[in-house]
Amino acid sequence: MKNKNYHLTEEGLERTRKELERLKRFRKKKVKYGAPQCFHSEDVDPEYLNFRKDMSFLDSKIAKLEEVVKNAEIISPPKGKRKEVCLGAFVTLEANGQVDKFHIVGTMEADPAMDKISNESLVGKALMGAKEGDEVTVSSKIEVTYKIKKISY
């Protein structure tokens, strides 16, 4: 089975590495200081069950971040395609008289509130490969046509 590549900016990869290290340190402390004492009895200790559930969640989060770091692909400006939208592009769009600027990133870094949209989102997919001056139409519940005003890297 082929591993999935995770498209990240250098900053995004660094944030992911820091989060991974933070979670690993937290896990060590939780095991060392937060593990409940187990007493031999016939009753199931709810505190111990909660601890195991927390550890399971933490382990899965660590495993996911390790996979991301291992399979990260850094987004870098394209060599010859600077006139079309690719991962890492800053795209200025106009729709219905409103102008917005977006950064096209991978799904791990997407944050619409920060104007970072995924290349796999409806708008991101529609923009990929488009050039300045092109119009792209995105259909969901409503149909919106975006005119590409500027592309930069």
Give the domain ranges of the chain. Answer: 6-74, 90-152
pLDDT in tens, 16-73: 999 999 999 999 998 888 777 766 666 677 888 888 899 999 999 999 999 999 999 9
- Name the region of 129 (left: φ>0; alpha: ψ -120 to 50; beta: rest): left
**Residue 28 is inside which H or E element, if any?**
helix 10-33
Q: Is 34 helix (H, G, I), strand (E, B) or coil?
A: coil
Domain spanning 6-74: CATH 1.10.260: no
- The CATH number corresponding to 90-152 among 3.30.420.40, 1.10.10.1100, 3.40.640.10, 3.10.50.30 equals 3.10.50.30
Report if pTM > 0.85. Answer: no
Q: What's the chain's average pLDDT? A: 90
